[in-house]
Structure 1
């Protein structure tokens, strides 16, 4: 069973670069306090690192 992350958007993307907004959208987050469960892949880890100041991450499994 693969490890997963539960990612929650905690801050707004207003004032962020387009690259950071795209990373938030690709993680499946739309509104503040929305959560998404993503697989632990190098691509997802990179996106989380780009927006680590905007999200909370919990390791699941």
Structure 2
């Protein structure tokens, strides 16, 4: 398993519930098509699972 994940926001967060918006902002994804590189931890995997319909993940 890789140490880092590349996460890209592929859909806009407009109209999402506040909790899902907070998860995206917590990962640093505030604009569409923005990509962030985060450590591969269980906490980040949990955040990804909450917004899996909004993001694209590359290992």
TM-score (norm 1): 0.89
- Could you say which residue in structure 2 is the equivalent of 1:45? 45
Shift of 1:15: 1.3
Return 5+ residue gaps in structure 2 as ranges.
Answer: none
Within the alignment, does 1:23 sit opposite 2:7 as a pair? no
- Could you say which residue in structure 2 is the equivalent of 1:10? 10
Moved over 2 A (4+): none
Shift of 1:41: 0.8
SS at match of 2:5: strand
Q: How many pairs were matched up?
A: 58
Return 5+ residue gaps in structure 1 as ranges.
Answer: none
- Could you say which residue in structure 2 is the equivalent of 1:32? 32
